[in-house]
Chain A
Amino acid sequence: DTGVSQDPRHKITKRGQNVTFRCDPISEHNRLYWYRQTLGQGPEFLTYFQNEAQLEKSRLLSDRFSAERPKGSFSTLEIQRTEQGDSAMYLCASSFPGQWDNEQFFGPGTRLTVL
């Protein structure tokens, strides 16, 4: 399968714990995005990488959230000191410039539940 993959698919954690999610984009895609989606809402943009550089970050993103893409391939999203309000689906997407002005291919998401 050559689509975007995310791991884990589900994560249950206790409030105050740290969690880390991984995203593997489509191999030739140099752009990678993280989104958060809560029930009944559209995805909310979190951050964007072009290769290994983090070029955009939502102003709404708490400093408890950090993302990396060290070699311009896979990316990780870490949430420190989780809160119940962090419970959501975390979506990763990748794209390649020039296709449909940045058509994004989404992964299946990681569903986080904070108890």
Chain B
Amino acid sequence: AQKITQTQPGMFVQEKEAVTLDCTYDTSDPSYGLFWYKQPSSGEMIFLIYQGSYDQQNATEGRYSLNFQKARKSANLVISASQLGDSAMYFCAMREGGDYGQNFVFGPGTRLSVLP
């Protein structure tokens, strides 16, 4: 079974609009971390935002926010006020293995295209 599911292979959004990228995960660990990374066409992975399994509040970082619904095991990324430079692949990832585990699992990604 897939540990990280991203059901949207591709998404389009108009510049300055908000967009939500879906991510669901599967783990039995009580302690885990959820990450979103951006990979532009240049290839380098760029960290965007992190959510811990025990965090009570949704994480926010500038134009990025993470809609964390623990019971549903979802961690959707919301990008507000999209910019042309946001066009890239977006990967959801999970760190599991308890408090000190370092096994990271990435989803298949969503390609976001921002239209002018």
A binds B: yes
* Residues of chain A at the chain B interface (Cβ within 8 Å): 31, 33, 35, 40-45, 48, 50, 55-56, 58, 89, 91, 93, 100-109
* Contact assessment for A89 and B47 in the assembled complex, using a CB-CB cutoff below 8 Å: no
Chain A residues with Cβ under 8 A from B52's Cβ?
Answer: 101
Chain A residue at smallest Cβ distance from B95: A102
Q: How far is the CB of A96 from chain B (nearest CB, A)?
A: 13
Contact (A103, B102) CB under 8 Å given A42-B107, A42-B109: no
How far apart are the CA atoms of A101 and B94 in the complex, in Å? 11
Contact (A43, B45) CB under 8 Å given A48-B102, A102-B33: yes
How far apart are the CA atoms of A58 and B3 in the complex, in Å? 15
* Contact assessment for B103 and A45 in the assembled complex, using a CB-CB cutoff below 8 Å: yes
Chain A residues with Cβ under 8 A from B35's Cβ?
Answer: 103-104
